[in-house]
Every structure is written in C-alpha cells, then in structure tokens.
Amino acid sequence: MGNKTDRSGHPANQGTLAQDKGLTPKERLLQAGLELFDEEGFHAVGIDRILRRAGVAKMTLYKHFPSKQALIIAVLERKVEEYFEWLGGALAAPGLTPRSRLLAIFDAMSQWHGGPDFRGCLFLKASGEYPELDDPVHLVAVGQKHRSLELLTGLAAEAGASSPRLLAQRLLLLCEGSTSLAQVLGGSEAARQARDAAALLLRQMLPEPSDVPA
C-alpha cells in the first residue's frame, strides 16, 4: 500500500515518520499533523508543534497550506484514502464471498482496535471538535461516513439483500459503535460483539447462504 501501517495493518501514525528526511517537506507536514492530531486532538496542537515535529520552517508550511484549517483538511483527506485502501485490502482477502466480506469488516476492525496505536476514529474526533454542520473540517468527516455507508450498501447488494441500504445503515451503526466503545474501554471485545450482532443481522436480512454460513 506504500504507507506505513501498525501491527494490525491499519494506517499508522508513527512518531518518527514525520522526521523521515526521505519525505518531501509537504509530506512531513501532513504526517506530523496526522500524528499530533491523532495523539492530542486538533485544537490542542499549535502550528509550532507541527513545525517542530516535521522539521520544517513556518514559511514552508504556508507555502503548502495557507492556514491550520487547510492542513487539517488535507490530513483528513489523506486519512480517508488510507482508510479505504486499508479496508479494501481486508475485503480483497482470498476466499471471501459477498456475504463473508460483510463480516470481514468486523474482523479488520477487531485487529485495528487491538493494535498498539489505536486511539479511536479521527473523523469522529474532528466532528466533535468542529461540530458546526457546515464547517469544512466537519464536512470531511461527514464525507468519510457517507463513503463508508456507500461501500456497505454495495456489499449488501452483492450479498443479495432486499434492502441493501437499510442493512448497510445497521452495519455502519455497529462499526461506529464498536469503534467508540473501543476508544473508551480499549481492546477488541466491542468489535467481536459487533461481529456477532452483524451475523444475526445477516441471517435476518440476507437470503440463506449457499456458500459459507455466517
């Protein structure tokens, strides 16, 4: 995938990557922002902290990003692409059927939640710190959730759901709820419980499987 990942395979926020001199100054700024925003939040991190982590001058920052908000948006947009690339890799595992792909999402979530670098969902954090519905930062978080819903809707349709959108909405609730609980409680138990609940939903809302039972 090209980007460094944590032990779970999820895109990692490694504390030394922002100082990797093999990266361009812009890439170091993006990585420094990702690391610090994930570790401490958005409002708590000032520009000077990002500059020190990235090892670049303020002039370099403003050459690429006219404001802190522009950097935050760029970091979140990068994270969106990394997230769906990671999830796409999990869904492309050999031997998965359309039905079992829906459960594979929860297996991937379980690995992510149990990883050493898991700090919760960066998009939920962003929407919490920028709650106004028309805020540009908030809108990136909204877009990530809509894209997740569209992905799940497509998978549900491939699996034969008569109401793929409804099934996708319910599965997304389980995904997001397990991630929020994991952020508070730690560990992978919430994702495992969410997987069990998802399997029940699939039995209720999908045709009887002819391949691998849920």
Query: Using one digit for the tens of pLDDT, what is the confidence trace for 113-156?
Result: 999 989 999 999 999 999 999 999 999 999 999 999 999 999 99
For residue 22, what pLDDT band results from cuts at 50, 70 and 90?
confident
**Burial of residue 88 (number of CB atoms within 10 Å: 0-12, 13-18, 19+):** exposed
pLDDT at 102 over 70: yes
How much is the pLDDT for 213?
A: 42
Res. 15 pLDDT band, cuts 50 70 90: very low
| Side-chain-facing half-sphere of 154: CA atoms under 13 Å | 7
Task: Say whether pLDDT at 204 is over 90.
Answer: yes
Res 9: pLDDT: 44
Residue 16 has pLDDT above 60, yes or no: no
pTM: 0.86
* 45-84 pLDDT, tens digit each: 999 999 999 999 999 999 999 999 999 999 999 999 999 9
pLDDT score at 190: 97
Which residues are 166's β-sheet partners? Answer: none
First-to-last alpha carbon distance for the chain, in angstroms, is: 29
- State yes or no: pLDDT of 184 exceeds 80: yes
* Residue 210: predicted pLDDT: 56
pLDDT attached to residue 14: 43
The pLDDT score that the predictor gives to residue 73 is 98
Q: What pLDDT, on a 0 to 100 scale, did the predictor assign at position 17?
A: 61
Neighbour count for residue 44 (Cβ, 10 Å): 11
**Average pLDDT score over residue span 79-106:** 96
